[in-house]
């Protein structure tokens, strides 16, 4: 389709004159930019100009002839011929006014017609011409998709660290109790969290296929499954909390604090599943800011309520509840988040089928097929973390408290990587939905470069000043001492974690959940846990050796996920 071609001059394609029909009235003309990744604009002499990364955009040419279509890296003026003026032998031909080079020769490149960066944030930090070979337009697309998610996850990290700092004032036994109970709680929630990747993969694919009116149907199915499985699991775990805690520790002081905290957290298990399902949907729908804003409200509720319940507010008659107060505050905030997500679903996703389109049996089948590997992986990962606490418990209570803080600090470093990975998965999923395999292939590599650059500086802080960070959360000198080098190991390997989480979430975003599960389960259960157990019980490993094995396992996962993405088998997956 030619846009902006002068009507009075016949154009030529491959040396043949083309027929120019009489133009239609401007008010009725409608033009459409091709969905192909490389839109080819016709320049004088038949030469084509490639504009990478174009989106499908329908534009009605009405009274405003000066309007422009922005095609990522090119800004194309609208005006002139209608769709009937195009050469019938040419497909996806978007004509632009002949872009001229600096010398006026007409040999223009994307650099000559590229718009100024649209992101004020990127411009404020000096990013105006791409990063590490990733073009500016793609950097901005990743930023728009990932920054809200990263902001939400960063706020989650702040909340986790705030909880650790508050509980840390209560003593080492309380810190160890929260670590053990949080792992058991995660184990109960893990199966429900896997639904998020299934919802994101299916909804992103529907949107890419142009079926936005049913994009929320996978979300409807996921919410039903969360209630169906979440409530019975929470009730069973609540009843059996004493048995679960005593399997991981024999310290009476830790047991006394861990059981009530775990029971308080289990009250929010169904809500966690609901929130993860919504997170997957908002990412797929390119509305990640809803996720971030909801998390900010949740965190405000959590910090205020937990602080009041942990230490008490005598003026209001609120007693000091200690560790259990932190658990109650967290559970209430999770349910507040679910209420906000449901409200936003009714106001923002109704037109996409939310709460009005009943999922079919096939919808449930595809969702379960996508979610089952991730849910199983999460469950086994959580069980593996519980096993790690059991192994570390053989080293002592100080080491157990240290591991709890190390995990929270590690999440602070790598959860932003997960936000970038979720962006890569959503962008690749939508590209596959519109049939652009080349674009889908490239997104995770571009995102991985950006994530590694981001994490290098963050990891350097952990390497240089580990004691300063640890003293914020631990008061026991022995616990600080045993955690110092493990924290340095985490900082050194954070770039590997960046690659691992980016590729892992990209594979999940295109539906390759089964192979991701095999890698995650295999490296944890067949490599890390057996070696760690034998090392601690037979070879005299301390926490330095054990944590070194743990971060080494995560780097190995990064290498395997990258190889899986490169082999391209995910391209054949149908959703």
Residues 268, 226: contact at Cβ < 8 Å? no
**How far lies 458's CA from each of 118, 302, 454, 492, in Å?**
26, 26, 7, 10
Residues 394, 432: contact at Cβ < 8 Å? no
- In angstroms, the CA 299 to CA 305 distance is 10
- In angstroms, the CA 108 to CA 119 distance is 25
Burial class (CB in 10 A: 0-12, 13-18, 19+), 122: middle
Q: Can you list the alpha helix ranges (DSSP code H) found in 312-436? A: 323-348, 361-393, 397-433
> Which string of b and e fits 491-507 if b means at least 16 CB within 10 Å?
bbbbbbbbbbbbbbbbb
Q: What is the pLDDT of residue 153?
A: 64
Q: What is the pLDDT of residue 132?
A: 65
Residue whose entry in the numeric block shows the structure tokens 């080293």: 395
Q: How many residues does the chain have?
A: 575
- In angstroms, the CA 317 to CA 458 distance is 43
- Name 421's Cβ contacts closer than 8 Å, sequence gap at least 6: 447, 451, 501, 502, 503, 504, 505, 506
Q: What is the pLDDT of residue 568?
A: 84
**Token output for 430:** 């939508």
DSSP 572: G
Closest CA to 414 of 533, 295, 524, 557: 557
Closest CA to 426 of 318, 361, 505: 505
- In angstroms, the CA 34 to CA 50 distance is 12
Q: What is the pLDDT of residue 120?
A: 58
Element (H, E) at 81: none
Residues 400, 176: contact at Cβ < 8 Å? yes
- In angstroms, the CA 341 to CA 271 distance is 10
Distance separating the N- and C-terminal Cα atoms of the chain: 32
- In angstroms, the CA 347 to CA 215 distance is 15
What SS3 class is residue 50? strand
Give, for all 575 residues of the chain, the pLDDT tens digit.
Answer: 444 444 444 444 444 444 444 444 443 333 333 334 344 444 444 444 344 443 444 443 333 333 333 333 333 333 333 333 333 333 333 333 333 444 444 443 333 333 444 555 566 555 666 666 677 777 777 777 777 767 666 666 666 666 777 887 888 888 888 888 888 888 888 878 788 888 988 998 888 888 889 999 999 999 999 999 999 999 999 999 999 999 888 889 899 999 999 999 999 999 999 998 998 899 888 787 888 789 889 988 988 998 899 989 988 888 999 999 989 998 999 999 999 999 999 999 999 999 888 899 999 998 988 888 778 877 888 888 888 888 998 888 888 888 888 887 887 777 767 778 778 877 887 787 788 888 888 888 888 888 877 778 778 888 999 999 888 888 788 889 999 999 999 888 887 888 888 888 888 877 788 888 899 889 999 999 999 999 999 998 999 999 999 999 989 999 999 999 988 888 887 76
Q: What is the pLDDT of residue 121?
A: 57
Q: What is the pLDDT of residue 354?
A: 94
């Amino acid at each position: 389709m030619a846009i902006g071609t002068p009507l009075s001059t016949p154009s030529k394609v491959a040396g043949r004159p083309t027929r120019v029909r009489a133009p239609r009235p401007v008010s009725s003309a409608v033009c459409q930019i091709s969905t192909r990744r490389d839109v080819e604009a016709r320049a004088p002499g038949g030469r084509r100009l490639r504009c990478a990364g174009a989106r499908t955009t329908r534009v009605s040419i009405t009274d405003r002839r000066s309007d422009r279509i922005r095609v990522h890296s090119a800004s194309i003026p609208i005006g002139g011929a209608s769709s009937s003026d195009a050469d019938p032998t040419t497909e996806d031909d978007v004509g632009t006014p002949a872009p001229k080079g600096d010398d006026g020769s007409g040999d223009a490149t994307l650099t000559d017609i590229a718009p100024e960066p649209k992101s004020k944030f990127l411009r404020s930090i000096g990013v105006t011409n791409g990063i590490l070979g990733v073009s500016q337009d793609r950097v901005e697309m990743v930023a728009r998709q990932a920054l809200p998610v990263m902001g939400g996850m960063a706020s989650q990290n702040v909340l986790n660290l705030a909880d650790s700092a508050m509980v840390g004032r209560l003593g080492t036994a309380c810190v160890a109790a929260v670590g053990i109970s949080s792992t058991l709680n995660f184990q109960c929630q893990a199966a429900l969290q896997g639904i998020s990747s299934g919802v994101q993969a299916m909804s992103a694919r529907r949107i890419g296929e142009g079926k936005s009116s049913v994009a929320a149907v996978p979300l409807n199915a996921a919410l039903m499954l969360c209630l169906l499985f979440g409530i019975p699991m929470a009730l069973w775990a609540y009843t059996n909390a004493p048995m679960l805690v005593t399997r991981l520790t024999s310290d009476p002081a830790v047991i006394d604090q861990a059981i009530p905290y775990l029971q308080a957290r289990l009250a929010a298990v169904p809500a966690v599943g609901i929130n993860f399902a919504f997170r997957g949907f908002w990412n797929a729908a390119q509305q990640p800011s809803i996720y971030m804003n909801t998390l900010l409200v949740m965190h405000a509720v959590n910090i205020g309520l937990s602080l009041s319940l942990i230490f008490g507010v005598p003026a209001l008659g609120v007693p000091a509840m200690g560790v259990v107060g932190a658990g109650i505050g967290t559970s209430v905030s999770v349910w507040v988040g679910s209420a906000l997500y449901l409200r936003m679903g009714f106001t923002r996703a109704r037109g996409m089928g939310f709460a009005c389109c009943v999922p079919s049996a096939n919808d449930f089948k595809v969702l379960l097929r996508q979610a089952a590997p991730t849910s199983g992986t999460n469950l086994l990962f959580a069980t593996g973390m519980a096993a790690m606490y059991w192994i570390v418990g053989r080293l002592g209570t100080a080491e157990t408290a240290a591991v709890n803080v190390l995990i929270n600090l590690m999440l602070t470093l790598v959860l932003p990587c997960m936000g970038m990975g979720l962006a890569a998965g959503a962008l690749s999923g939508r590209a596959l939905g519109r049939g652009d395999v080349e674009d889908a292939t490239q997104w995770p590599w571009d995102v991985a470069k950006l994530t590694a650059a981001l994490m290098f500086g963050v990891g350097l802080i952990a390497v240089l000043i580990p004691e300063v960070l640890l003293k914020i959360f631990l008061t026991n000198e022995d616990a600080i001492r045993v955690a110092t080098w493990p924290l340095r190991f985490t900082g050194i390997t954070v770039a590997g974690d960046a690659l691992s989480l980016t590729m892992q979430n990209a594979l999940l975003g295109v539906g390759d959940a089964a192979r991701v599960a095999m890698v995650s389960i295999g490296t944890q259960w067949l490599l890390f846990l057996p070696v760690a157990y034998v090392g601690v019980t037979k070879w005299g490993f301390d926490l330095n050796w054990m944590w070194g094995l743990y971060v080494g396992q995560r780097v190995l996962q990064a290498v395997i996920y990258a190889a899986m993405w490169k082999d391209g088998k995910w391209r054949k997956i149908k959703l």
